[in-house]
Amino acid sequence: MKKMLLINAGVVLAALSYSAIAYDGQNCSEPGVCWEPKPGYPAKVAGSKYDPKHDVNELNKQAQSVIEMEERNKKRQENLAKTGKFVYDVDDIE
C-alpha cells in the first residue's frame, strides 16, 4: 500500500514539474495565449506571401449548397403537409 502511495505521489510530482520544464521562453499576452510568429513571419498576414488568397466563389460554395438544401427541404415539408406522405426525391413532387 505504501509503495503504491509513493509511486502515485511521484507521478503527481513529475506531472507538476513537467509544466515548469515545458516553458519555452515565449512572452504570453495572457495565461495560455503564448503564440508568437517565427522570425521573418509578418505581423500582418494580409498582402504578404503567407496570405492564402482564397477564391470568394470557393468560399461561398458551402453557403450556396445550404441554401439549396433548405429549398429542397421546404418543398418536401410543403408536400408532406399537403398530402400526408413524405417524398424524398424532390423531382417526384408534383
Structural contact between residues 32 and 26, judged by C-beta atoms closer than 8 angstroms: no
Instruction: Give the global pTM.
Output: 0.45
3-state secondary structure of 33: strand
Q: 66: which 3 cell numbers?
A: 445550404
Q: What pLDDT score does 89 carry?
A: 94
Q: What pLDDT score does 85 carry?
A: 93
Per-residue pLDDT of the chain (94 residues; tens, 9 = 90+): 888 877 887 777 766 665 555 555 667 777 777 777 778 888 788 888 888 888 889 889 999 999 999 999 999 999 999 999 999 999 998 7
